[in-house]
Amino acid sequence: MRTKVTRSKVMRKVMDTIKIRFQRLVKQKHDGSALWRLPVEILCQIFVHCLPETDHLRDSPKFAPILLTGICRRWREIVVNTPGLWCRLYVIVYSDSNTWRKAAFFYGLWLKRSQGRPLSLAIECPNPSSTAKLELESLLQLYKSRITSLQLPSINAATAAELLLQNLPALQDLTLHCIYCIARLIPRLPCTVRNLKLQQFTFDTFNSLSTYKLWAHLTNVEITVDGPHQFLHLFNLCPNLSSSDISLNFSKAVVKPLQPCMHANLQFLSIKCYGSSCSLRTLFRALTLPSLHVLRFSGASHPRWFHEVFKAFLARSDYSLKCLILGAGFTMTDAQQAEYLTLIPSVEVQRPKKRGLFHGRYILWTRVRHSGAEGNPADLAR
């Protein structure tokens, strides 16, 4: 009898301990983390901010959004049903059939989860065979009408995407990194393209392609030109540009006179100049940009700033400039800067004060603004 009573007490203590621990677990679940009580809409916004800060996402379990699907069942359901997490993708077309089969399966799931949203893709293809072209075409067949942004980082990628480029009715942004396939690709591009970035190109390559209607529709272009004549020719081809990032390789002095060029819509212009400052001076004698708000210079050393020429440019352009940014290599005196502030009281001038190492770039800005200026037009340059 005594044994039964003792055993009963022991069992009662065990059950009490289990109840206490269970109550603690329940309390921890409800009070431990506010994340569990957040609405789905808030969690979706948090997950978007968890995405890597890259243009295109990899299908890796080490990074969001794939990483978020392994946290818990509730998070997985939310992540899978949030299309904004699946609109950017880096596609690699593998030459090995087994590797490609597995990759294509995951790419298909990824794209399906985008649920009709516009797509931004980067495509890489180590071996652009005819089979690779067909496999890429098959993968993206259902999504062509939703591809608005495309990056082709190599000649192999551009070759593999030739079939794809024939039918992209919604394409707006295109980035190319190779020069050898341009003659084949440019004629295939739809007139919906507005943003064209041509890296490792020179505009001289396009002299034979300047008749295509694509240029007239562009609102932003990034390219390298070999001289002032090509620079102005580009502006004449693209009347709807609102922003442009141009690298200038002026290796020779300008011999042929430049015709005056007025571009009515350009608001932001970034110029990287690696040649003669005389050529740059000649260029701005011909330019008129009445809508220009932000002008940025960078590049090699230019000891003499073309002050008088630039003042005349500002006058022709109706003093529309709001922000002038001078990178390391461009020199301006305090007196010249003060004169610009007199001409345009609201203008912001940023110029290098001294050389110093900052994130791998030799630049240290000093800002001068009129006290009555509003806003920060330099934000447009970031």
Lookup: tokens for 178: 């190779």
Residues 283 and 310: beta-carbon distance below 8 Å: no
pLDDT at 214: 86
In Å, what is the CA distance from 340 to each residue of 83, 113, 209, 293?
49, 53, 40, 14
Residue 164 lies in a domain: no
Q: What is the pLDDT of residues 162-195, one digit of tens each?
A: 878 888 999 999 998 866 667 677 778 888 999 9
pLDDT at 328: 75
pLDDT at 207: 63
Distance of CA 207 to the CA centre of its chain: 27
The domain in which residue 369 lies consists of 228-382
pLDDT at 35: 67
SS3 92: strand
Number of domains in the chain: 1
- Whole-prediction pTM value? 0.78
Residues 220 and 239: beta-carbon distance below 8 Å: no
Q: What is the pLDDT of residues 67-109, one digit of tens each?
A: 999 888 888 999 999 999 999 999 999 988 889 999 999 999 9
Taking 90 as the threshold, does the pLDDT of residue 298 lie above it?
Answer: no
Residue 210 lies in a domain: no
Residue 351 lies in a domain: yes
* Residue, of 117 and 213, whose pLDDT is higher: 117
Residue 213 lies in a domain: no
* Residue, of 79 and 133, whose pLDDT is higher: 79
Give alpha helix (H) positions in 271-377. Answer: 277-286, 307-316, 334-343
* Residue, of 65 and 13, whose pLDDT is higher: 65
Per-residue burial over 10-46, b = 16 or more CB atoms within 10 Å of its CB, e = otherwise: eeeeeeeeeeeeeeeeeeeeeeeeeeeeeeeeebbee
Q: What is the pLDDT of residues 226-274, one digit of tens each?
A: 778 888 989 999 999 999 999 887 666 555 788 999 999 999 999 988 7
Average of per-residue pLDDT across 293-298: 94
Residue 75 lies in a domain: no
Residue 158 lies in a domain: no
Output the furthest CA–CA distance in the chain (Å, rounded). 118
